[in-house]
Amino acid sequence: MNNIAGSAAKSAGMTEEEVFGSAYDHRVVTRLIPYVAPYKMFMAVALGAMLVFAATNVAVPWIIKLAIDGYIQHNDKAGLTLIIAAFFGNAVINWLSNFAMEISIAKAGQGVLFGLRGAMFRHLQRLSLNFFNKIEVGRLMSRVQGDVG
């Protein structure tokens, strides 16, 4: 709390959460549901890709264990070739799942932001001219960009 509001709150005995509000507000999250709902397929793809990504990350030490205990220790070069192929296959699946996860999360996030900005623009278009006479343009643009972000 190194800003003016934080200093005033500290001297008044208030916590930072009481002044600035909680980081999580259930009402805000429920208001976002209509903007997130069209992207549930992207969210499902991201969840599935995340699970595959986690599984392939965990599989790396297991594959190495199999290579050492089963093939290097017994000097089985043919089996070790298969394990090396499995290792590289696992790496490719890991990369693809990470790529799918990143792309689907980005598409969903950008779509939600686009929907929010569109709704805010439509709302601003319906406001009266008197509102725009009273509010400074810079302050309005700052709120529009900051609130959506």
- Give residue-wise pLDDT tens across range 17-49: 565 666 777 888 888 899 999 999 999 999 999
Give the number of other CB atoms < 10 A from CB of residue 125.
7
- 100, pLDDT greater than 90: yes
Domain 25-148 matching CATH 3.40.50.12780: the answer reads no
The CA distance from 87 to 1, in Å, is: 50
The type of residue at 25 is D
- Predicted model pTM: 0.69
Query: Domain residue spans in the chain?
Result: 25-148
